[in-house]
Amino acid sequence: MPELRKDPILGRWIIISTERGKRPTDFIIAPPPTGGGFCPLCPGNETTTPPEVLSYGRPQLADNRPGWSLRVVPNKYPALVIEGSLDKEGEGIYDRMNGIGAHEVIIESPDHNAAFTYLSPDRMIQVFWAFRDRIIDLSRDPRFRYVMVFKNFGSGAGASLEHSHSQLIALPILPRMIVSELEGSKSYYGYKDRCIFCDIIRQEIRKDIRIVCQTEHFIAIAPYAPRSPFETWILPREHSSSYIEMDDRQLESLTAIFSELMRRLDSCIPGVPYNFVLHTAPLRSEPLNYFHWHFEIMPKLTSIAGFEWGSGFYINPVPPEDAAKFLKEAKI
């Protein structure tokens, strides 16, 4: 059983996962990236994954056969497990609970060689539907407080499978990153009576030096204080605290901006590994006037990323104004 443990000084929760590597020798040689051989995410291999929890394109859960256009399955090597109770307890000054949660893989296309960035709009929108559907479904489990949706692309960004996929983890606690954002934005709201993200959007539109692109409902900006070169955020232009509040029309607009942004990024830095993470309100939260959901997209330019791993401090050699300009002018 995996375990959730809290750092008593920082309040940071981490997962001790017992399903993965264990002995020191497991770390001596990095495993070669999967590729060439067998792909458990390809059509025809449905029975090699745990049974699907969602699919589009053919009758859902239809014996886990081919014919799907998108498929969501539990991770075969989950960081957290779905069965069991939390059993929160103290160990002296420490706090722990059982590693209860869900860990799912969103298989974004049946085509092994498809890249998320170049999915057609009707394919890409399915990915965003799936995020919504899965968050709504998982929010029914009272043990969970947050669903973290993210994507790792490229081995430099931590992807261990080639076949295009994203992931989600349903957590019984709020990740520290979200706690900090909620606290920061709440404190701003208390002071100004305005959402800080709405204020950021207003200022960015007025200045127009860090905007990459816009669609009817969304804006993509290089944030003022980016952690890494070409970091970009996608935010809804109208205030909304939760991803799942989006209707289908807004999802279309999100697809359009995501697709454009990713193609611009790939045009600037071909094949760049990246991560994106959805930041949204906690599960079952009422609409929050101070918090604004968004995606954060972080290219992983490892040739220069070492510094901050060491120091815990971010040093970014590319001003966001330059990054926005490069992205805006990229040929796509």
Whichever of 110 and 298 has its CB closer to a second copy, that residue is: 298
The least CB distance from residue 47 to a second copy, in Å, is 26
- Beta carbon of residue 154, minimum distance to a second copy (angstroms, whole number): 9
CB of 318 to a second copy, least distance (A): 6
**Catalytic residue of the set 163, 165, 292, 294:** 165
Q: How far is the CB of 207 from a second copy (least distance, A)?
A: 8
In whole angstroms, give the CA distance from residue 249 to residue 326: 29
The residue among 110 and 229 lying less far from a second copy, judged by its C-beta, is 229
Which position has the token pair 């901050």?
308
Question: In whole angstroms, how close is the CB of 267 to a second copy at the nearest point?
Answer: 9
Q: How far is CA 122 from CA 51, 53, 68, 69, 252, in A?
A: 25, 21, 14, 10, 9
Report the C-alpha gap between 153 and 130 in whole angstroms.
18
| 101, amino acid identity | G
Give the whole-angstrom CA distance, residue 304 versus residue 280.
Answer: 29
Closest of 313, 291, 328 to residue 210, by C-alpha: 328
Nearer to a second copy, 12 or 76 (CB): 12
Which amino acid is residue 3, in one-letter code?
Answer: E
- Could you tell me the CA-to-CA distances from 12 to 6, 7, 18, 32 in Å, in that order? 5, 5, 19, 31
Whichever of 218 and 326 has its CB closer to a second copy, that residue is: 326
Give the residue with the Cβ less far from a second copy, 36 or 310: 310
CA 299 to CA 303: how far, in whole Å? Answer: 12
Active-site residue flag, 165: yes
Q: Is 278 exposed, middle or buried (0-12, 13-18, 19+ CB in 10 A)?
A: buried
Q: Is 93 exposed, middle or buried (0-12, 13-18, 19+ CB in 10 A)?
A: exposed
Catalytic positions, written as ranges: 165
